[in-house]
Chains A and B, each alone.
Chain A
Amino acid sequence: NAGVTQTPKFRILKIGQSMTLQCTQDMNHNYMYWYRQDPGMGLKLIYYSVGAGITDKGEVPNGYNVSRSTTEDFPLRLELAAPSQTSVYFCASSSGTSGYGQFFGPGTRLTVL
């Protein structure tokens, strides 16, 4: 039982490049989330999904896209990378809303130069 896994762990992008951050969970959780953590700040919600085929925007969705074709996977796509997207990205999953608590992946550190 690996929990929530994220790849890659580190990545450097040039401005304008695109990439996909992968997130997979093996706990059969319906709820999945993407957060970003900027230096000295707490995590902010980018996108979330309540089940396969259903996604919605969080607090800071601009510049990102997501898809959820399976219960296990919730990839985050950056189309035109900008320096403002330099951050640490965390994926999380939960079996339900609110009180169930969230399991976090190890994070992806992304630098855009």
Chain B
Amino acid sequence: AQKVTQAQTEISVVEKEDVTLDCVYETRDTTYYLFWYKQPPSGELVFLIRRNSFDEQNEISGRYSWNFQKSTSSFNFTITASQVVDSAVYFCALSEAGWGSQGNLIFGKGTKLSVKP
């Protein structure tokens, strides 16, 4: 069965600290996609990244980086030099691409990140 686990419910850091948000997934499909979304206090969902199951290259975008490891079924997200504006709930999500999949996203419960000045 498909599942996404974000074991960290809440994380609190001081500005400029680095922080890593963990994501572990389960799927029987060999082709799938992983996503990270940000939900700021205003409530909307902001797309951050999409990664397919055949691309294990790490990605860096400014202060954000993602580490995808199929061997451990993990897709972790690191924010370097955190800022107060990074305070939000972050969701990891899985979309299976096997036969019969509908393309819906399976979400983890989210990690609430608080960055204090």
A interface, CB within 8 angstroms of B: 31, 33, 35, 40-45, 48, 50, 56, 58, 88, 90, 92, 94, 96-104, 106-107, 109
B interface, CB within 8 angstroms of A: 4, 9, 31-33, 35, 43-45, 47, 50, 52, 91, 93, 95-97, 101-105, 107-110
Contacts of B93 in A (CB 8 A): 42
Contact in complex: A101, B50 (CB < 8 Å): yes
Contacts of A98 in B (CB 8 A): 31-33, 95-97, 101, 103
Contact in complex: B44, A107 (CB < 8 Å): yes
The answer to whether A41 and B109 touch (CB under 8 A), given A33-B104, A58-B104, is: yes
The answer to whether A42 and B32 touch (CB under 8 A), given A98-B97, A107-B43, is: no
Bound together, the chains give a CA A106 to CA B44 distance in angstroms of 5
Contact in complex: A99, B33 (CB < 8 Å): yes
Contacts of A102 in B (CB 8 A): 103, 105
Contact in complex: B103, A42 (CB < 8 Å): no
Contact in complex: A40, B101 (CB < 8 Å): no
Task: Give 10 pairs: A residue, B residue, CB < 8 Å, sorted on A.
Answer: A31-B103, A33-B105, A40-B109, A43-B107, A58-B104, A97-B97, A98-B103, A99-B52, A99-B97, A101-B35
Contact in complex: B35, A104 (CB < 8 Å): no
CB distance from B104 to the nearest CB of A (A): 5
CB distance from B64 to the nearest CB of A (A): 17
Bound together, the chains give a CA A44 to CA B2 distance in angstroms of 13
> With contacts A102-B103, A102-B105, A104-B45 known, what are 19 further pairs, Cβ within 8 A?
A35-B105, A40-B9, A41-B109, A42-B93, A42-B110, A50-B102, A58-B104, A88-B43, A97-B97, A98-B31, A98-B33, A98-B101, A99-B50, A99-B52, A99-B95, A101-B35, A103-B47, A104-B47, A106-B44
